Amino acid sequence: MARGIEGTRIFESDKDREDFVSRLASQVEATGLQVLAWALLPNHLHLLVRTGRRSLPSVMRRILGGYAVAFNRRHRRQGHLFQNRYKSIVVEEEPYLLELTRYIHLNPLRARLVRDLAALNQYPWSGHSVLVGHVRRSWQAVDEILGQLAPTSREARRRYRAFVVAGVHQGRRPELVGGGLRRSAGGWASVAALKRGRERWACDERVLGSGDFVEQILHEAESQATAGWSARVAQTLPSLIERMARTFGVRETEILGGSRRRPVARARAAMSAVAVRSLGLPATRAAQALGVTAMAVLRGVDRGLGYLRERRLDPERLAKEVIRK
């Protein structure tokens, strides 16, 4: 789900909606993305997809970034259009696929963009009208949904309509949008971070499924992310050390040399805070770089956050700064 910044309308006209749909369709063709359900509302949108040859963040950057530029140009506005976080949920298909499809497709009715189900059947800006056969969109993965319901399209559509009717009065369902579930933020590395109790900034991501499914996702994330993400982050440590030395007025060699001078100790603690909390680096890796123990790094994290606050420095922003270098 993506929302307009501070409730901004992201669709002002059908031309805007056509533009977005066109960009979505182009990513289906270019990347093998499967669009299972979708709905466009005035200030936000919902997508249920299976990724193809490109990662979800890559696809979303292309769709949302390109659309925002075109929207601003059409409406002579400047600045960000979307909130800097988009919600994504890793979903266990059985039994959530049909439930999420129905939930997403009923959004226009819940938002009172249409009067009733008959009007929803004709509403062109959600996948529901495609599934019931009133609108044709060749890029939507219709068979992936209808095939869950019956072997023939006619019977599957009948069952789908009945399924949607049964959900009309359910209202908002927090359990289908991540409420109360285990949270992370920012791709596989951050799903892995759930076990270590920390988050990153890229997106707000949740795992929706049974306990076994959640544990499987976390296990896969841990094994995939630890080596790759930690190695990439470790490459940023020289830049982070240089930044902390400048901030606290000490030499880089002092930070690495075990000095206990107050400014040096503060610089080292601040570096620990950024490395562990914001960059997601294991304390053992940060300890190796600093020449101290992992326990010393962990003890320094909270103090380091305090030292950064005193200087009105945002650890998340510092992390982004060193990653860009």
To 10 degrees, the CA torsion angle through 296, 299, 302, 306?
-60
Domain boundary among 233, 250, 266: 233
**What are the beta bridge partners of residue 50?**
34
Q: Are 261 and 250 in contact (CB under 8 A)?
A: yes
SS3 8: coil
Domain boundary among 176, 194, 215: 176
Q: Are 224 and 107 in contact (CB under 8 A)?
A: no
pLDDT value at residue 185: 33
Each as own residue / partner, the long-range contacts of residues 90-93 (CB below 8 Å, 24 or more positions apart, any chain) are 90/191, 90/205, 90/206, 90/207, 90/208, 90/209, 90/217, 91/48, 91/208, 91/209, 92/208, 92/209, 92/210, 92/213
Pairing of strands 87-91, 44-50: unpaired
Residues 19 and 164 in one domain: yes
pLDDT value at residue 223: 54
When divided into structural domains, the chain yields a total of 3
Residues 109 and 27 in one domain: yes
User: Looking at residue 179, what DSSP letter applies?
Assistant: T
Beta-carbon contacts of residue 237 (< 8 Å; ≥ 6 apart) = 275, 281, 286, 289
pLDDT value at residue 228: 54
Q: Are 318 and 243 in contact (CB under 8 A)?
A: yes
pLDDT value at residue 30: 92
Residues 139 and 221 in one domain: no
Domain boundary among 127, 143, 176: 176
Residues 16 and 84 in one domain: yes
The two structure tokens encoding residue 264:
């040096």
CATH value at residue 155: 3.30.70.1290
Residues 26 and 81 in one domain: yes
Residues 23 and 130 in one domain: yes
pLDDT value at residue 98: 87
Residues 223 and 252 in one domain: no
Residues 27 and 86 in one domain: yes
SS3 140: strand
Regions of the chain short of the pLDDT cut 70: 84-86, 89-95, 170-234, 258, 325
pLDDT value at residue 23: 96
Residues 242 and 224 in one domain: no
Residues 29 and 165 in one domain: yes
Residues 287 and 304 in one domain: yes
CATH value at residue 298: 1.10.1750.10
Which structural domain, as residue segments, surrounds residue 48? 2-176
Residues 148 and 254 in one domain: no
